[in-house]
Structure 1
Amino acid sequence: MKIKPALISLAALCHCSLPTLQAQAEVEFAELIGKTQDRIEQTLAEYQAFLKETQNEKLEIVSQINQVENELVRLRHQEINAKRHATESEFDLKDKQTRINALDTQTQYSHGVLSEYLTNFESRIHVSEDQNYIAPLREIREKLSSVGEASADRLPALFEALELGLDRQESLIGGTRFKGRAITPTGGVKEGTIALVGPTAYFKSETDSTAGPLRFNSGTIEPGMSPIDQAAAQHLHELLNQGNGLLPLDSSLGNALVLKKAKGTIPEHVSKGGWVGYAILALGGMAILVALYKLIELRGIRIHEPQDIRSIAISAVTESADEAKSKIASLKGPIAKILGIGIDFSKTDIDTQLDAMDSIILRYRPRLERFLPVLATTAAVAPLMGLLGTVVGMIKTFTLIEVFGTGDAKSLSSGISEALVTTELGLIVAIPALIFHGIFSRIMRSRLAAMEQIATDFSRQVFATQQGGSR
């Protein structure tokens, strides 16, 4: 309860000092507001100054950034240009390297083509032109030997060969003539004029009427001359002297004459077969004689079948034998003898009659067959003898190879020729002998068959007549 008066006293004191405190608070608040206002204005001023300073610095920084960006753009352009130039330089280098490789390939190709052309030029010029081109071709070969193996260093000499070939082709248009030498058929060397017309060459002597086509002559630079007749030689002289005339053209370029000369005659060809060849020819000659004899013999043995065997059989049975034989009087050869013996045995039984007629046929059979084994033997033995000659020739060839080696083909040709010629002769003899043996054997069988048929028909008619008379 004592507390209440104290509170009343404190409340009265506070009520009394309240206006003074309020005034003091307002003053302090006003001062605080003024100070705050000053601080705000000062801060605003500082902020404005900072903004202005910042703006200036920002402008400066932006300017610097722009400069840096411009520099960066410039550097980027420089980088791009540098890369482009580097790429172009790299491409240019590769392109140049590619071009260099292409040029090198073309150079090597040109070198190969020109080298091949030079080789073909040396091998394909006519033999008569060797004496004109041997010196320039030797000079070109010496130039090629003196330079290195590089294709570019060898091209100038190869181009000289190309120009030489082009000059030759130009001179050949329409034919060309030049002075030269040739070897005559007698072996002498003569000076004269050579004319090239297409692939053929002709020569005429300056001192006489010798003329003819030219061919390769082994072992010499000068070509050899093939012989021709006097009229063709005269035409050739007129052609080479006047530039026009008849040309003795040989489409084989002289090879036909050489082949004809190398072929030789028939005796020379047969002689290559040696003793075996002559033995085969002797066997063949014997086969020819046998064939001619058999041809004449078989033509003489003709089978004339009578027109009416039945009438002859009736006469032999019912009439006399002489009456029946008169009907076969016009017949000749084995048929007349067969029917004659059949008439004589017409009164006997049919088996006896047939045996009698067969005996006549058996007598003629050896006559028809004789000498046919000679033809069969010739057809079988001739190829074997040819094979024997082949073996002998090959033995001779191998003996020559053992002595002389394989370098000399001419020394080997004799053995090879003997081996082949004997085989040829054996077949030439055997084939006709086999054919004639087959023909004559077929004729013989047909003649014997005809005899047997006539004998059988006659016996049947006789038997039929006997049976009819017995009835």
Structure 2
Amino acid sequence: MLLFILTMGVMPVVQAKDIDVKDLKSDLEDVSQRLTKYRDEVLIEKASVAREMNKMEEELLIKRREREIVDLGAKGREAKLYSLRKSVATFKKEADYIEGALKDFSIEFDLRSRPGHQSELGQVENPDVVTRVKSLEKAFESVNSMLGGEFVKAEVVTDGGTLSRGTICNLGPAGWFKDDSGKYYGSVEMLSGATHGRLNSDVNQSDVEALFAQGSSRLKLDVTGGKARAISKIQDDPLKLFEKGGVWLWPILTIAFFSTVCGVIKFIQLSKIKEPNADWIGNLLTYVNKGDLDAAKSACAGVAHPVAEVLTKSIDFVSAGANVVEEVVYERIIGVQSQLQKWLPFIAVTAATAPLLGLLGTVSGMIRMFNVITVTGTGDVKPMAGGISEALVTTLFGLIVAIPALILHTMLSRRSNGVVQATERLSLSFVNGLKSK
């Protein structure tokens, strides 16, 4: 019994020693390879079955649609066909719109490309949609490269009209140039439709040298691509407005000149008139009552006021009575009023006519703009700028002339009426003094 127990205890040890580990590993690898191969075959079968299923589903969908069309009848089929044609037309419009947008973008990209980023679309005849999409991708690449700053080799047009080759530092829409010889430097302005940038020598040479040598410098940045600089030049140069005003600006300026001359002459004339003091009429009546007419005329001669001339002429008729003197005074006052109102109507006409001439220039400019639209369409507003400028500038100058002319006429008319009223008041005081004698 003990021998049996010992034998049973030894048997597992002997069997473990008899098993070959290498054979087990080989069998395991063989099983693993067969499992992998089986899985690959299953995947291939699944893909094949999935394709067959998709194909059968498509065929089933087509059959169902055919069955639906059969069930619809003739009218239903016509309605369905109409709906499909309408959808096709809508998709075609969308495709045409997208193609047109890509075309406009590619053209605009060619026109506005910075130096060193010109597109190849200009060299391709009738580019297709794929080519235009590539242009869009290139535009994004150009924007990404310029936003971080880049140095590229390119040619620019100098102030002398010659091409100079050098290095351009592009930073977004702005760029600075330095030629290989170091003779030309400055900011680069890209004009619409131009193949080369134009050099503006508006920066300090040391700043440009520092930019290209060290990669950093303090420079003025025009993020509008030169438009802000052009607008600044227009605003700083008033003569540009005269050029844009057209032919109707000159009549406005002509009447403004004559109105100014008349206003200045009238202002000088009225500023010389000084109203006599309160005792002057009393002294004049004293001389007249004493019969010393020469002294009375001398007293009138020392007064710088129209009433002096009126009363000087009236003194000669004192002997005829107060009523005759009164008639002479009214006659002379009419002449004084006419003299003081002289040239004022022209200023009033200027104030009324200048806005009308401006409106006439506006209508002329609008007609010119619509004529340009008839030829070029509304895609580009630059050809219409001349007509718009003429329309707005003439209105501007019309108001600039009319408002000061209206103010000047009001002030001079009020001053003139005040002088006439003072003349009437002093003359009536003199006549009443004679009647009370």
Q: Which residue matches 1:183?
A: 156
- Give 1:302 shift: 3.9
Match of 2:350 in 1: 378
RMSD: 4.0
**Which residue identity does 1:390 align to in structure 2?**
T
- Taking a change above 3 Å as real, the CA distance of residues 440 and 251 of structure 1, as seen in their structure-2 partners, is farther
Write the distance in 2 (CA, Å) between the matches of 1:380 and 1:327.
43
Could you tell me which of 181, 185, 201 is aligned with 1:207? 181
Q: In the alignment, does 2:250 pair up with 1:278?
A: yes
Answer whether contact 1:209 1:234 (CA < 8 A) is retained: no
Matches within 5 A, 1:272-421: 272-305=244-277, 307-347=279-319, 349-421=321-393
Deviation at 1:128, TM superposition (A): 4.5
Matched letter for residue 332 of structure 2: I
Task: Report the AA paired with residue 277 of structure 1.
Answer: L
The answer on whether the counterparts of 2:210 and 2:216 sit within 8 Å (CA) in structure 1 is: yes
Q: 1:41-120 counterparts in 2 under 5 A?
A: none
Deviation at 1:395, TM superposition (A): 2.0
Residue 187 of structure 2 aligns to a residue in which SS?
Answer: strand
Alignment match, 1:461: 433
Q: 1:127 to 1:244 in 2, by over 3 A?
A: same
| 1:131 aligned onto 2:117 | yes
What is the Cα deviation at residue 449 of structure 1?
1.0
Q: Call closer, same or farther: CA 1:223–1:325 in 2, change over 3 Å.
A: closer
Question: Contact conserved, 1:294 with 1:440, CA < 8 A, in 2?
Answer: yes
Deviation at 1:274, TM superposition (A): 3.0
Are residues 1:425 and 2:411 paired?
A: no
Contact (CA 8 Å) 2:255, 2:350: kept in 1 or not? yes
Distance of 1:366 and 1:323 partners within structure 2: 29
Alignment TM-score, normalising by the size of structure 2: 0.60
Cα 1:185–1:434 change in 2 (3 A) is farther
SS at match of 1:131: coil
Confirm or deny: 8 A CA contact 2:273 2:304 kept in the other structure.
Answer: no
Equivalences for residues 205-284 of structure 1 within 5 A? 205-219=179-193, 223-228=197-202, 232-243=204-215, 247-248=219-220, 254-261=226-233, 265-284=237-256
Q: Is this contact kept in 2: 1:128–1:194, CA < 8 A?
A: no
Q: Distance in 2 between matches of 1:326 and 1:188?
A: 82
Deviation of residue 270 (structure 1)? 2.2
Superposed displacement of residue 311, structure 1: 2.8
> What is the distance in 2 between the residues matched to 1:351 and 1:237?
96
Deviation (angstroms), 1:399:
2.2
C-alpha deviations, 1:269-293, integer Å up to 9, x for none?
A: 3243333222222222222222222
Letter in 2 for 1:131: H
Distance between the aligned counterparts of 1:460 and 1:209, measured in 2?
92
| Shift of residue 441, structure 1, vs aligned partner | 0.9
Residue 422 (structure 2) aligned to one of 447, 450, 454: 450
SS in 2 for 1:292: helix
C-alpha displacement at 1:188, in angstroms?
A: 5.1
In structure 1, distance between residues paired with 2:130 and 2:247: 56
Q: Give the secondary-structure state (helix, strand or coil) at the position aligned to 1:194.
A: strand
Displacement of 1:359: 2.0
TM-aligned CA distance change 1:242 to 1:279, over 3 Å: same
Q: How many residues align?
A: 317
State the identity %: 30
Secondary structure at 2:201's aligned position in 1?
Answer: coil
SS at match of 2:166: strand
Match of 2:177, SS state, is strand
CA distance in 1, matches of 2:113, 2:133: 25
What are the superposed Cα offsets for residues 155-186 of structure 1, whole Å, 9 maximum, x if unpaired? Answer: xx9xxx89x95x987xx4xxx55233253344
**C-alpha displacement of 1:445:** 0.3
How big is each residue's C-alpha offset from its partner over 1:323-360, in whole Å with a ceiling of 9 and x where there is no partner?
43344442245232233244444455544332222222
The answer on whether the counterparts of 1:313 and 1:343 sit within 8 Å (CA) in structure 2 is no
Q: What are the superposed Cα offsets for residues 178-223 of structure 1, whole Å, 9 maximum, x if unpaired?
A: 2332533445554433346687542222223322223443235765
1:194 aligned onto 2:180: no
> What is the distance in 1 between the residues matched to 2:182 and 2:146?
29
1:283 and 1:219 map into 2 onto residues whose CA distance is 43
Q: Contact (CA 8 Å) 1:131, 1:222: kept in 2 or not? A: no
Q: For residues 274 and 133 of structure 1, do their structure 2 counterparts lie closer, same or farther at Cα, with a shift above 3 Å needed?
A: closer
Whole-Å separation in 2 of the counterparts to 1:375 and 1:459: 35
Q: Which has the larger radius of gyration?
A: 1
Q: Relative to 1, partners in 2 of residues 1:252 and 1:142: Cα closer, same or farther, differing over 3 Å?
A: closer
What residue ranges of structure 1 are gaps of 5+ in the alignment?
1-118, 136-140, 147-156, 467-471
The corresponding residue for 1:110 is none
Distance (Å, rounded) in 1 between the aligned partners of 2:373 and 2:172:
42
TM-score by length of 1: 0.56
Q: Conserved in 2, the CA contact under 8 Å of 1:131 and 1:221? A: no
How far did 1:368 drift?
1.1
Task: State the 1:444 CA deviation.
Answer: 0.8
Residue deviations 1:31-79, cap 9 Å, x none? Answer: xxxxxxxxxxxxxxxxxxxxxxxxxxxxxxxxxxxxxxxxxxxxxxxxx
Are the counterparts in 2 of residues 180 and 194 from structure 1 also a CA contact under 8 Å? yes
Q: Which amino acid aligns with 1:204?
A: K
Q: Indicate the SS of the match to 2:153.
A: strand
- Given that 1:128 and 1:214 are in contact with CA atoms closer than 8 Å, whether structure 2 keeps it comes out as no
